[in-house]
Amino acid sequence: MFFIVGLKSRTKTVETGRFRCPNEGADRAYRHVRARRWFTLFFIPLIPLGTQGEWVRCDSCGAQYGPDVVHRHPAGRDPTRRG
Ligand SMILES: [Zn+2]
């Protein structure tokens, strides 16, 4: 008998919302993604080994930013729109 073990990276969307994409200068939908490394047995992820990275991805243009971009560039502050 033998075991097939390995490591695998998986990404997961942890949050979605709207922000002002710095690349486009307009309000866009984003997804906050987290990548984790997993210990696998027979290709089944069993044990999470730690976070590899987190980023925010614009759904419109695909640009990627650090997770704090949604706080530095919140949606809904269009200076040309009042009320
Ligand atoms: Zn964008």
Instruction: Locate 16 and state its tokens.
Output: 């979605």
Q: Is residue 77 part of a domain?
A: no
Q: Is residue 42 part of a domain?
A: yes
pLDDT of residue 71: 95
**Overall domain count for the chain:** 1
Q: Is residue 83 part of a domain?
A: no
Q: Is residue 54 part of a domain?
A: yes
> 11 lies in which domain range?
5-24+34-72
Please calculate the CA angle 74-80-83 and round it to the nearest 5 degrees.
80
Distance in Å, CA 10 to ligand 1 centroid: 24
Q: Is residue 82 part of a domain?
A: no
pTM higher than 0.85: no
pLDDT of residue 1: 79
Give the residues of the chain that fall short of pLDDT 50: none
For 62-78, the pLDDT digits (tens) are 999 999 999 999 998 65
Distance in Å, CA 11 to ligand 1 centroid: 20
Q: Is 30 exposed, middle or buried (0-12, 13-18, 19+ CB in 10 A)?
A: buried
Distance in Å, CA 61 to ligand 1 centroid: 4
